[in-house]
């Protein structure tokens, strides 16, 4: 019997329930995918907690990989037994199997472990967007990565440094600092509490006296002010997450007074809505993994029925790298 994690109300991880799943035959433009591994991403927590509202009841999870076991009548280019992955099919990947629109799938290169794929695909797509759709970093000046030991942070740090970009990583403890240094970071700053974060801009300027041209901040409210204050004149804060709370409204005039700064709020789903962009970005991520430019660093593998525990670990912000569910 197929099963999935479902929520009928928003709230803590306790609202997640494992329930039977009666899958119909795939629609003409769909395939049925038997999942081999499922990625856990912070957007799943936003859906569960209600930060990003979803119709209820709802599944959770945006990312998985597996093998096709049934093909809709209008699907071309895929066959039963093909190994594929996806990262933008809407909530519902926390399941043993799922019907997915075929145009959202990407073929999986040979020789890749299922858990590795979901440890880096969604996060790699996010990093690719941050590096190519926003202001582009250069080798002339370092950039700052908040939560550099997190899922996206590790991928972004290693990919940037592999391209010759100097990265200053911000982490919450020394163990994470060692891991981020292994990813090639030029400098690492430990900010374990609110006081440390307040002192971050001075520590950044000890490394980059003018400040940095770009800050990548997936944490949100708890790091927002320190990130802004770490920017060089005309610098850009790229805010792409809310793990530390939703960023409050900003006085646009203050950005001018702080040095003609800019803020950008990208969404991966804008890029993934375009089929050509989705294909090209996915190919770039897989190629980067093959070239050892991005890591498959897995903090924990848990069975599907322990999805709530996966969320608790991720929300604790003590994890390093990715969390993977195995159905």
The structure's pTM equals: 0.92
CA pair distance 228, 17, nearest whole angstrom:
40
Strand ranges (E), 119-230: 143-145, 167-171, 187-190, 212-217
Task: Note the pLDDT of residue 18.
Answer: 98
What are the tens digits of pLDDT across the range 167-179? 999 999 999 999 9
Query: What rounded mean pLDDT belongs to the chain?
Result: 95
Percent of the chain scoring above 70 in pLDDT: 100
Task: Note the pLDDT of residue 83.
Answer: 97
pLDDT at 195 over 90: no
What are the tens digits of pLDDT across the range 253-302? 999 999 999 999 999 989 888 888 988 999 999 999 999 999 999 999 99
pLDDT at 317 over 90: no
pLDDT at 68 over 90: yes
Tell me the CATH architecture of domain 134-265: 3-Layer(aba) Sandwich (3.40)
Q: How far is CA 291 from CA 248, 252, 286, in A?
A: 39, 41, 9
Cα angle 306, 25, 77; round to 5: 95
**CATH topology agreement for domains 2-119+297-326 and 134-265:** no
Strand ranges (E), 242-282: 262-264
Residue found by looking up tokens 């989705």 in the block: 278
Q: Quote the tokens at residue 33.
A: 């995918």
What are the tens digits of pLDDT across the range 82-128? 999 998 888 999 999 999 999 999 999 888 999 999 999 999 999 99
**What are the boundaries of each domain within the chain?**
2-119+297-326, 134-265
- Between 12 and 196, residue with greater pLDDT: 12
Task: Note the pLDDT of residue 65.
Answer: 98
User: 26-30, 206-210, 239-243, 262-266: which has the minimum mean pLDDT?
Assistant: 239-243
Q: How far is CA 167 from CA 128, 160, 197, in A?
A: 16, 7, 18
User: 8-22, 33-47, 225-239, 264-278: which has the minimum mean pLDDT?
Assistant: 264-278
Task: Note the pLDDT of residue 88.
Answer: 82
Task: Note the pLDDT of residue 198.
Answer: 93
pLDDT at 23 over 90: yes
- Between 40 and 279, residue with greater pLDDT: 40
Tell me the CATH architecture of domain 2-119+297-326: Alpha-Beta Complex (3.90)
pLDDT at 305 over 90: yes
**Residues 6 or more apart in contact with residue 54 via CB below 8 angstroms:** 47, 91
């Amino acid at each position: 019997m197929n099963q999935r994690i479902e929520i009928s109300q928003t709230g803590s991880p306790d609202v997640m329930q494992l329930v039977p799943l009666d899958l119909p035959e795939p629609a003409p433009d769909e395939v049925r995918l038997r999942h081999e591994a499922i990625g856990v991403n912070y957007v799943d927590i936003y859906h569960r907690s209600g930060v990003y509202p979803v119709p209820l009841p709802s599944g959770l999870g945006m990312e998985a990989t597996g093998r096709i076991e049934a093909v809709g009548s209008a699907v071309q280019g895929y066959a039963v037994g093909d190994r594929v992955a996806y990262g933008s099919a809407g909530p519902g990947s926390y399941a043993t199997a799922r019907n997915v629109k075929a145009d959202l799938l990407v073929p999986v290169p040979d020789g890749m472990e299922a858990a590795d794929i979901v440890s880096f695909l969604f996060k790699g797509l996010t990093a690719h967007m941050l590096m190519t759709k926003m202001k582009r970093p250069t080798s002339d000046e370092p950039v700052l990565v908040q939560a550099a030991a997190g899922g996206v942070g590790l991928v972004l740090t290693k990919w940037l440094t592999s391209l010759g970009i100097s990265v200053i990583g911000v982490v919450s403890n020394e163990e994470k600092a060692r891991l981020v240094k292994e990813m090639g970071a030029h400098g690492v700053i430990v900010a374990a509490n609110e006081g440390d974060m307040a002192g971050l801009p001075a520590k950044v300027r000890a490394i980059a006296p003018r400040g940095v041209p770009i800050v990548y901040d997936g944490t949100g409210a708890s790091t927002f002010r320190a990130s802004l204050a770490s920017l060089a004149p005309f610098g850009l804060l790229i805010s792409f997450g809310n793990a530390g709370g939703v960023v409050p409204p900003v006085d646009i005039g203050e950005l001018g007074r702080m040095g003609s700064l800019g803020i950008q709020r990208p969404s991966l789903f804008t890029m993934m809505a375009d089929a050509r962009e989705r294909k090209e970005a996915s190919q770039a991520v897989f190629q980067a993994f093959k070239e050892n430019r991005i890591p498959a660093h897995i903090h924990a593998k848990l069975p599907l029925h322990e999805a709530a525990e996966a969320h608790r670990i991720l929300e604790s912000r003590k994890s390093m790298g990715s969390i993977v569910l195995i159905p």
